[in-house]
Amino acid sequence: MLRSAVAAIRDGPEAVVRAYAERGSEECTEGENTLLFLPVDDELRCRQRFGADVEYALEMHLRLNDTAALVARAWSARHTLFASPELPPLLPTERSACAVPLLDRGIPVAVLYLGFVKHLPRGEIERRCALASEIAAPFAIACERESELNRSLYDGLTGLLTPRAFRERLARALAENGDGGKVALWFVDTDRFKEVNDTFGHAIGDRVLQEMAELLRTHAVARTDFVARNGGDEFCAALIGIPKTLAIERAQEFCDAVRSHDFGIPLRVTASIGVAAYPFDARTAATLLERADRAMYVGKNAGRDRVSFAVEGREAALYR
Residues paired with residue 38 on neighbouring β-strands, in sequence order: 45
Q: Can you state the angle between helices 244-260 and 202-218, rounded to 10 degrees?
A: 140
- CA distance linking residue 80 with residue 184, whole number of Å: 54
- In order of 197, 198, 212, 258, 270, the CA distances from 261 in angstroms are 18, 21, 9, 5, 9
Residue 178 DSSP class: T
Residues 57, 48 contacting (CB under 8 angstroms):
no
Catalytic choice (233, 281, 293, 305): 233
Rounded CA separation 151/145 (Å): 10
41 SS3 class: coil
Largest CA distance in the chain: 80
E-assigned strand segments in the chain: 32-40, 43-50, 61-63, 81-82, 96-104, 107-116, 183-190, 226-231, 234-240, 271-278, 307-311, 314-318
User: Does residue 104 have an active-site annotation?
Assistant: no
Q: Which residues are catalytic?
A: 233
